[in-house]
Chain A
Amino acid sequence: DTEVTQTPKHLVMGMTNKKSLKCEQHMGHRAMYWYKQKAKKPPELMFVYSYEKLSINESVPSRFSPECPNSSLLNLHLHALQPEDSALYLCASSPPLKRGDTDTQYFGPGTRLTVL
Protein backbone atom coordinates (compact mmCIF):
# COMPACT_ATOMS: atom_id res chain seq x y z
CA ASP A 1 0.00 0.00 0.00
CA THR A 2 1.60 3.23 -1.14
CA GLU A 3 -1.36 5.50 -0.57
CA VAL A 4 -1.40 8.96 0.89
CA THR A 5 -4.91 10.33 1.35
CA GLN A 6 -5.93 13.96 1.60
CA THR A 7 -9.18 15.60 2.59
CA PRO A 8 -11.03 17.53 1.46
CA LYS A 9 -10.50 17.25 -2.29
CA HIS A 10 -11.79 20.76 -2.84
CA LEU A 11 -12.11 23.69 -0.47
CA VAL A 12 -13.49 27.17 -1.01
CA MET A 13 -13.00 29.66 1.80
CA GLY A 14 -13.23 33.34 2.48
CA MET A 15 -10.36 35.43 3.72
CA THR A 16 -11.73 35.50 7.25
CA ASN A 17 -12.40 31.77 7.53
CA LYS A 18 -10.43 29.18 9.44
CA LYS A 19 -10.13 25.77 7.83
CA SER A 20 -7.85 22.75 7.98
CA LEU A 21 -6.42 20.35 5.43
CA LYS A 22 -5.80 16.78 6.45
CA CYS A 23 -3.30 14.21 5.24
CA GLU A 24 -3.02 10.59 6.29
CA GLN A 25 -0.71 7.67 5.53
CA HIS A 26 -0.45 4.18 7.01
CA MET A 27 2.80 3.09 5.45
CA GLY A 28 4.88 3.61 8.56
CA HIS A 29 6.54 6.62 7.00
CA ARG A 30 8.14 9.01 9.47
CA ALA A 31 8.66 12.01 7.24
CA MET A 32 5.70 14.01 5.96
CA TYR A 33 5.65 17.05 3.71
CA TRP A 34 3.38 19.88 2.62
CA TYR A 35 3.78 21.32 -0.85
CA LYS A 36 1.99 24.15 -2.62
CA GLN A 37 1.50 23.96 -6.36
CA LYS A 38 0.28 26.73 -8.60
CA ALA A 39 -1.04 26.01 -12.09
CA LYS A 40 1.60 24.91 -14.58
CA LYS A 41 4.34 25.08 -11.94
CA PRO A 42 6.21 22.37 -10.03
CA PRO A 43 5.36 21.73 -6.38
CA GLU A 44 7.01 24.09 -3.89
CA LEU A 45 8.07 22.70 -0.54
CA MET A 46 6.40 24.37 2.46
CA PHE A 47 7.03 22.20 5.53
CA VAL A 48 8.73 18.96 6.47
CA TYR A 49 7.99 16.91 9.57
CA SER A 50 10.38 14.25 10.74
CA TYR A 51 9.28 11.93 13.54
CA GLU A 52 6.38 14.30 14.30
CA LYS A 53 8.70 17.28 14.72
CA LEU A 54 8.80 20.26 12.38
CA SER A 55 12.16 20.11 10.67
CA ILE A 56 11.83 22.48 7.75
CA ASN A 57 9.74 25.62 7.35
CA GLU A 58 10.44 27.23 4.00
CA SER A 59 9.68 30.73 5.27
CA VAL A 60 5.96 30.12 4.94
CA PRO A 61 3.66 32.91 6.20
CA SER A 62 2.16 32.30 9.63
CA ARG A 63 -1.35 32.14 8.17
CA PHE A 64 -0.35 28.56 7.35
CA SER A 65 0.12 26.49 10.49
CA PRO A 66 1.17 22.84 10.21
CA GLU A 67 0.53 20.20 12.82
CA CYS A 68 1.59 16.58 13.11
CA PRO A 69 -0.47 14.98 15.90
CA ASN A 70 0.95 11.51 15.27
CA SER A 71 3.10 9.60 12.82
CA SER A 72 0.18 8.93 10.46
CA LEU A 73 -1.48 12.34 10.36
CA LEU A 74 -0.48 15.73 9.08
CA ASN A 75 -2.68 18.81 9.21
CA LEU A 76 -2.40 22.24 7.70
CA HIS A 77 -4.42 24.90 9.49
CA LEU A 78 -5.42 27.89 7.42
CA HIS A 79 -6.41 31.30 8.72
CA ALA A 80 -6.79 34.71 7.10
CA LEU A 81 -5.63 33.49 3.72
CA GLN A 82 -5.29 35.68 0.66
CA PRO A 83 -6.65 35.02 -2.84
CA GLU A 84 -3.07 34.41 -4.03
CA ASP A 85 -2.94 31.41 -1.68
CA SER A 86 -5.34 29.60 -4.00
CA ALA A 87 -3.48 26.53 -5.23
CA LEU A 88 -3.26 22.75 -5.09
CA TYR A 89 -1.88 21.70 -1.71
CA LEU A 90 -0.06 18.41 -1.81
CA CYS A 91 0.96 16.16 1.02
CA ALA A 92 3.75 13.61 0.68
CA SER A 93 5.41 11.05 2.90
CA SER A 94 8.60 9.04 2.82
CA PRO A 95 10.10 6.15 4.79
CA PRO A 96 12.11 6.67 7.98
CA LEU A 97 15.01 8.98 7.39
CA LYS A 98 18.57 7.80 7.47
CA ARG A 99 21.62 9.96 7.13
CA GLY A 100 23.33 9.74 3.79
CA ASP A 101 20.36 8.09 2.14
CA THR A 102 17.60 9.13 -0.19
CA ASP A 103 14.04 7.89 -0.15
CA THR A 104 11.03 8.04 -2.37
CA GLN A 105 8.33 10.57 -1.59
CA TYR A 106 4.78 9.43 -2.21
CA PHE A 107 2.27 12.15 -2.94
CA GLY A 108 -1.38 12.40 -2.11
CA PRO A 109 -3.95 13.60 -4.67
CA GLY A 110 -4.01 17.09 -3.21
CA THR A 111 -6.58 19.58 -1.98
CA ARG A 112 -7.66 22.21 -4.49
CA LEU A 113 -8.00 25.38 -2.43
CA THR A 114 -9.79 28.51 -3.62
CA VAL A 115 -9.66 31.64 -1.49
CA LEU A 116 -12.31 34.21 -2.31
Chain B
Amino acid sequence: GENVEQHPSTLSVQEGDSAVIKCTYSDSASNYFPWYKQELGKGSQLIIDIRSNVGEKKDQRIAVTLNKTAKHFSLHITETQPEDSAVYFCAAEKPRSTLGRLYFGRGTQLTVWP
Protein backbone atom coordinates (compact mmCIF):
# COMPACT_ATOMS: atom_id res chain seq x y z
CA GLY B 1 0.00 0.00 0.00
CA GLU B 2 1.02 3.53 0.76
CA ASN B 3 1.52 5.33 4.07
CA VAL B 4 1.16 9.10 4.20
CA GLU B 5 2.32 10.96 7.30
CA GLN B 6 1.26 14.56 7.84
CA HIS B 7 2.63 17.13 10.27
CA PRO B 8 1.78 19.09 12.26
CA SER B 9 -1.66 17.98 13.38
CA THR B 10 -2.48 21.51 14.51
CA LEU B 11 -1.00 24.83 13.42
CA SER B 12 -1.82 28.31 14.67
CA VAL B 13 -0.49 31.41 12.93
CA GLN B 14 -1.10 35.13 13.03
CA GLU B 15 -2.84 36.71 10.09
CA GLY B 16 -0.29 37.66 7.48
CA ASP B 17 2.24 35.03 8.52
CA SER B 18 3.11 31.98 6.45
CA ALA B 19 1.99 28.43 7.18
CA VAL B 20 3.74 25.24 6.12
CA ILE B 21 2.33 21.73 6.30
CA LYS B 22 4.53 18.75 5.51
CA CYS B 23 3.75 15.24 4.31
CA THR B 24 5.86 12.20 3.64
CA TYR B 25 4.93 9.12 1.67
CA SER B 26 6.35 5.63 1.61
CA ASP B 27 5.77 4.27 -1.89
CA SER B 28 8.12 5.68 -4.52
CA ALA B 29 5.58 4.68 -7.19
CA SER B 30 3.23 7.45 -6.03
CA ASN B 31 3.27 10.26 -8.54
CA TYR B 32 0.28 12.48 -7.81
CA PHE B 33 -0.11 14.59 -4.68
CA PRO B 34 -3.26 16.67 -4.14
CA TRP B 35 -4.04 18.93 -1.21
CA TYR B 36 -7.59 19.30 0.04
CA LYS B 37 -9.08 21.99 2.28
CA GLN B 38 -12.04 21.09 4.45
CA GLU B 39 -13.97 23.73 6.29
CA LEU B 40 -16.04 22.83 9.30
CA GLY B 41 -18.93 20.54 8.39
CA LYS B 42 -18.15 20.61 4.68
CA GLY B 43 -16.63 18.29 2.13
CA SER B 44 -13.09 18.45 0.80
CA GLN B 45 -12.12 21.07 -1.74
CA LEU B 46 -9.09 20.51 -3.96
CA ILE B 47 -6.84 23.56 -3.57
CA ILE B 48 -3.67 22.54 -5.38
CA ASP B 49 -1.97 19.43 -6.68
CA ILE B 50 1.40 18.41 -8.03
CA ARG B 51 2.66 15.58 -10.16
CA SER B 52 6.02 13.96 -9.82
CA ASN B 53 7.42 15.45 -12.99
CA VAL B 54 7.57 18.91 -11.36
CA GLY B 55 9.19 20.10 -8.16
CA GLU B 56 7.06 23.12 -7.34
CA LYS B 57 3.73 24.58 -8.28
CA LYS B 58 2.24 27.90 -7.23
CA ASP B 59 -1.24 29.37 -7.33
CA GLN B 60 -1.43 32.87 -5.85
CA ARG B 61 -0.81 32.52 -2.10
CA ILE B 62 -0.59 28.74 -2.18
CA ALA B 63 2.38 26.67 -3.28
CA VAL B 64 3.31 23.02 -3.12
CA THR B 65 6.81 21.61 -3.29
CA LEU B 66 7.79 18.03 -3.97
CA ASN B 67 11.03 16.22 -3.21
CA LYS B 68 10.82 12.82 -4.86
CA THR B 69 14.18 11.65 -3.58
CA ALA B 70 13.20 12.29 0.02
CA LYS B 71 9.56 11.34 -0.63
CA HIS B 72 8.06 14.40 0.92
CA PHE B 73 5.87 17.25 -0.23
CA SER B 74 4.77 20.43 1.48
CA LEU B 75 2.00 23.00 1.32
CA HIS B 76 2.96 26.62 1.76
CA ILE B 77 0.40 29.34 2.40
CA THR B 78 1.69 32.90 2.43
CA GLU B 79 -0.02 36.01 3.78
CA THR B 80 -2.52 33.88 5.66
CA GLN B 81 -6.04 35.14 6.23
CA PRO B 82 -8.67 34.06 8.75
CA GLU B 83 -10.63 32.37 5.95
CA ASP B 84 -7.68 30.03 5.45
CA SER B 85 -8.65 28.43 8.77
CA ALA B 86 -9.65 24.85 7.99
CA VAL B 87 -8.41 21.28 8.08
CA TYR B 88 -5.95 20.52 5.30
CA PHE B 89 -5.39 16.98 4.02
CA CYS B 90 -2.53 15.85 1.87
CA ALA B 91 -2.86 12.73 -0.24
CA ALA B 92 -0.82 10.50 -2.51
CA GLU B 93 -1.88 8.41 -5.46
CA LYS B 94 -0.09 5.81 -7.52
CA PRO B 95 -0.51 5.39 -11.26
CA ARG B 96 -3.62 3.47 -11.99
CA SER B 97 -2.75 -0.11 -12.44
CA THR B 98 -6.39 -0.73 -11.64
CA LEU B 99 -8.18 2.28 -10.21
CA GLY B 100 -7.23 5.49 -8.54
CA ARG B 101 -6.89 5.25 -4.80
CA LEU B 102 -6.06 8.28 -2.68
CA TYR B 103 -4.05 7.70 0.47
CA PHE B 104 -4.73 10.56 2.86
CA GLY B 105 -2.68 12.05 5.63
CA ARG B 106 -4.41 12.51 8.97
CA GLY B 107 -5.02 16.22 8.44
CA THR B 108 -3.76 19.51 9.86
CA GLN B 109 -6.08 21.90 11.66
CA LEU B 110 -4.90 25.38 10.63
CA THR B 111 -6.11 28.34 12.67
CA VAL B 112 -5.32 31.85 11.49
CA TRP B 113 -5.77 34.46 14.20
CA PRO B 114 -6.78 37.99 13.15
Task: Name A's B-contacting residues (CB within 8 A).
Answer: 6, 31, 40-43, 45, 48, 50, 55-56, 88, 90, 94, 97-110, 112
Once the chains bind, are A102 and B43 in contact (CB under 8 Å)?
no
Choose from A6, A100, A103, A105 the contact partner of B97 (Cβ within 8 Å): A100
Once the chains bind, are B95 and A43 in contact (CB under 8 Å)?
no
Once the chains bind, are A56 and B43 in contact (CB under 8 Å)?
no
Q: Which residues of A contact B106 (CB under 8 A)?
A: 41-42
Question: Which one of B14-22, B44-52, B58-66 is at the A interface?
Answer: B44-52
Once the chains bind, are A45 and B102 in contact (CB under 8 Å)?
yes
Tally of B interface residues using CB under 8 Å? 29
Q: How many A-B residue pairs have CB under 8 A?
A: 75
Choose from A55, A90, A104 the contact partner of B99 (Cβ within 8 Å): A55
Once the chains bind, are B43 and A88 in contact (CB under 8 Å)?
yes
B65-88 interface (Cβ within 8 A of A):
87
Q: Which residues of A contact B25 (CB under 8 A)?
A: none
Task: Name B's A-contacting residues (CB within 8 A).
Answer: 31-32, 34, 36, 41-46, 49, 51, 87, 89, 93-102, 104-107, 109
Q: Which residues of A contact B49 (CB under 8 A)?
A: 104
Tell whether A55 pairs with B98 under 8 Å between CB atoms, given A42-B107, A102-B32.
yes
Give the Cβ gap from A57 to chain B, nearest Cβ, in Å. 12
Once the chains bind, are A107 and B43 in contact (CB under 8 Å)?
yes
Tell whether A90 pairs with B43 under 8 Å between CB atoms, given A41-B107, A55-B99, A102-B51.
yes
Q: Which residues of A contact B104 (CB under 8 A)?
A: 42-43
Once the chains bind, are A107 and B41 in contact (CB under 8 Å)?
no
User: Which residue from chain A places its CB closest to the CB of B32 in the assembled complex?
Assistant: A102
Once the chains bind, are A97 and B51 in contact (CB under 8 Å)?
no
Q: Which residues of A contact B102 (CB under 8 A)?
A: 43, 45, 105
Once the chains bind, are A109 and B100 in contact (CB under 8 Å)?
no
Once the chains bind, are A97 and B100 in contact (CB under 8 Å)?
yes
